[in-house]
Amino acid sequence: MKRITRTALIAILFSLQVLQQSCSYKLSGASIPPDMKTISVDFFENNSSLVVPYLSQSFTEELKNRIRNQTRLGVIRADADANLQGRISDYSIRPVAVQGNERAGLNRLSITVSVKYTNVLKPEQSFEQSFTRFQDIDLNAGALQTQESRLIPLINRQLSEDIFNRAFANW
């Protein structure tokens, strides 16, 4: 009797595990036309007056990864059903709060990306738009360069999410 109960329990747990893995649903909010299969993402060159050497590469890869991870689209180099291209048009660090000694206590790191999205299959969904995101830097919390290298990936994630939502979720 004990052996039958144990076998039944193992069978039930195994069935539940299989059922759980076969039923998945993503809440990315993407509404991609069924006939769209591919997208090309051009390199986003940094044309701002302040140049961070790795910014273009890291932003472009973040955008590609978001598309790969949240859609069924294949990211290819050319002749795609849609294309994302653009440039980093502004990268700035500006003071936003002054301390008593007339030094900036808080700076704002801001990145603006100009984007052109071309939907070959549905041209009415194409757009050109600039996206800006920022993070504040507390100079009392550590060196500017250290915080800058920590905040750039955060801003890249936010920008790629904004662009993704505009292109695929119609936000």
pLDDT digits (tens, 9 = 90+) for 26-47: 445 578 889 999 999 999 999 9
CATH topology (fold) of 33-168: Double Stranded RNA Binding Domain (3.30.160)
71 token code pair: 């859609």
25 token code pair: 């649903």
Amino acid at 126: S
Amino acid at 104: A
* β-pair type (104-119, 82-98): antiparallel
Could you tell me the residue ranges of all domains in the chain? 33-168
pLDDT, averaged in runs of 10, over the chain (171 residues): 65 59 47 93 97 96 98 96 98 85 82 98 96 92 87 98 94 63
The tens digit of pLDDT for each residue in 140-153 reads 788 888 899 999 99
Biggest alpha carbon distance in the chain? Answer: 81
Q: How far, CA to CA in Å, does 20 sit from each of 8, 23, 28, 46?
A: 18, 5, 19, 44
